[in-house]
Chains A and B, each alone.
Chain A
Amino acid sequence: MNRIWTLVSTEARIELRERYALSGILLYVLSASFIVFSIWRQLPPKEWGLTFWVIFLFCSLMAVLKTFGKESEGRYFYYYTLYHPLELFIAKALYNMVLLLFIFLMLWFVLSIMAGNQIIRVDWFMITGLMACTGLSFLLTLITSIAIKTQQNASLTSVMALPLMIPLLINLLRLTAYSLGTTPDDNPWNEFMMLSGIISLVVGLSMWLFPYLWRS
């Protein structure tokens, strides 16, 4: 656990030192939501939720894409001898999760300035966001680790990850509809259980498969 924490904090320190990475994501979120908002002009609750998750999806792809990219070959080798692949994976996924949470909050903030905060049940939206970040970060980290082994990793990551994200996205939209109050359904637990089932599937499978895929 301690070792994982060291890895996460190293990762974060490197990221913070290179300012442009974080500010790049921030700019991406800003410009994406600006473009979408300038097309829509006004966002009714339902569209607000849709827009939110679409922008979030692409931002998260952007952010996670360079997880394994920025390291040189030498550092891989160093990591490989020093840490168990599972530790490495959990550290990367946790770091990405924090990153996605940051994007989530930022996007929420930006969209509520631009289009007003349509969320009625804030607590549920926070839970939805937390779940989305967990699921997406594990999924994307695994897919990037596969894509990094191929020749064109950037385009392949999105090609491989986008269809796999859809089962997650569908359930996220359902839960979001509850926190937006656009559904007559008054019981979110069904969707919650479904979503947590899928997320635990993603987390479990990716933790099982990563050490196998990482060998080379």
Chain B
Amino acid sequence: MKDNTSIKFFGLALWKWFSMLILIYVFIAGWLIPLNPGIIKVAPESIKAGESVVLEVTGYNSSFVSDTAQVRAWLRLTGDTVIKAQHVQVWDNRRLTASFYIPSVFPMRQEAYPLTLILDHDTDGTSVLPNAVFATPAENQNPAEMALWFSDKVEHVHVKSGIQFPFRNILSETIRNTYFHVPMWFTMILLFAVSAWFSLQYYRNGQIVYDQKSVALIRVGILFGILGLVTGMLWAKNTWNAYWSWDVKQNMSAIALLIYAALMVMRSSVEDQMQKARLTAGYNIFAFALLIPLLFIIPRMTDSLHPGNGGNPALGGEDLDNTMRMVFYPAVIGFILLGLWISQLVYRTEKLK
């Protein structure tokens, strides 16, 4: 927020150029880096044990044709209990059929057995579709077939070289939203935090400048919060099938927005300038302190649809691979700098009035 002391370049502070550059990089990399090959669909969805089945597999971004003889397929029950496809027939780059014989006995007893399909290919590397088919138990069980489960192993798998984003089953291309939706929340929280800090400064010094700064930050924070909410709803509709699924994080962020909206309403209903500033500072500090358990502790204690362990507010190690990190962290930094920039503009406008 201190514009006059920062290093300038073409009349604009360096960090603003930096934020622009980062965001351009994020938009380009986030859109252009391709997705790993993956499996979209397997038909039929349910099969019977003790029979031969032919599975039709639809791939995504795949290039099965390039090395037809090398395509291998497995169905995995757990860990090392797998069966290999007897025969794989490639139709085109995105379609192949694999024929399996499902043994009539299973190492454990369940009502249905979810099987994971694994494809391995020279150029595409390995692609996995969890719970691709469900096997129902056979009528006549032949214990001798148990050995079939352990005769094969998933080995000598290939890794696709080059830079790609991972392919996740339901997400597919929407994994790119990680760089656009998630930074909205990071920005919102950071803007609110900085605003609470300025409120604290106002509490200490009583200079009206700090009040104006904190209010500008809250305004832009609310803007980013609404953006996060709307983009999240759009994403959720297409992956979780509902705009709003009463997920912990959704609720908590909506509550955070409610709190700050209430602050703005409260501000507008006080006339005296000093009174307004003082009440804002007090409520802001109080609200932000209560927001900490709301946003950081409670989501960790409940289950969530969001990634991260048990609704962990941050993304866990599993959800981001190194390629995604290379775009995600710059995205967070870029959007935070953009948020600070916009709030600086808002503050300067307010000061002019």
Residues in chain A within 8 A of chain B (CB atoms): 142, 146-147, 149-152, 156, 159-160, 162-164, 166-167, 170-171, 194, 197-198, 201-202, 205-206, 209, 212-213, 215-216
**For residue A197, which residue of chain B has the nearest CB?**
B293
In the assembled complex, which residues on chain A have CB atoms less than 8 Å from the CB atom of B290?
164, 167, 198, 201-202
The 8 A CB mask of B283-308 against A (1 = contact, 0 = none) is 10111011001100110010000000
In the assembled complex, which residues on chain A have CB atoms less than 8 Å from the CB atom of B297?
194
Q: A156-B265, A160-B266, A202-B290 are in contact. List 20 more A-B contacts (CB 8 A).
A: A146-B266, A146-B283, A147-B266, A149-B270, A149-B279, A150-B269, A151-B271, A156-B269, A160-B262, A164-B259, A164-B287, A167-B290, A194-B293, A198-B290, A205-B286, A209-B282, A212-B203, A212-B278, A212-B281, A216-B275
Count of A-B contacts judged by CB separation below 8 Å: 72
In the assembled complex, which residues on chain A have CB atoms less than 8 Å from the CB atom of B278?
212-213, 215
B255 contacts chain A at the CB level, 8 A cutoff: yes
Total interface residues in chain B, CB < 8 Å: 27
Q: How far is A86 from B75 in the complex, measured between Cα atoms in Å?
A: 70
A contacts with B: majority SS: helix
Q: How far is A156 from B255 in the complex, measured between Cα atoms in Å?
A: 16
Residues in chain B within 8 A of chain A (CB atoms): 203, 255, 258-259, 262-263, 265-266, 269-271, 275, 278-279, 281-283, 285-287, 289-290, 293-294, 297-298, 301
CB pair A201–B270 under 8 Å, yes or no, is no
- Give which listed residue, A150, A163, A198, A206, contacts B255 with CB less than 8 A: A163
Supposing A156-B266, A213-B279 touch, asked if A167 and B286 sit within 8 A by C-beta, the answer is: no
Supposing A164-B259, A197-B293 touch, asked if A142 and B286 sit within 8 A by C-beta, the answer is: yes
Q: How far is A198 from B290 in the complex, measured between Cα atoms in Å?
A: 8
Q: How far is A19 from B1 in the complex, measured between Cα atoms in Å?
A: 55
CB pair B262–A163 under 8 Å, yes or no, is yes
CB pair B289–A205 under 8 Å, yes or no, is yes
**For residue B297, which residue of chain A has the nearest CB?**
A194
Report the minimal beta-carbon distance from B275 to chain A, rounded to whole angstroms.
6
Report the minimal beta-carbon distance from B323 to chain A, rounded to whole angstroms.
37
Report the minimal beta-carbon distance from B15 to chain A, rounded to whole angstroms.
33
CB pair A167–B293 under 8 Å, yes or no, is yes
Supposing A164-B259, A166-B255, A216-B275 touch, asked if A150 and B286 sit within 8 A by C-beta, the answer is: no
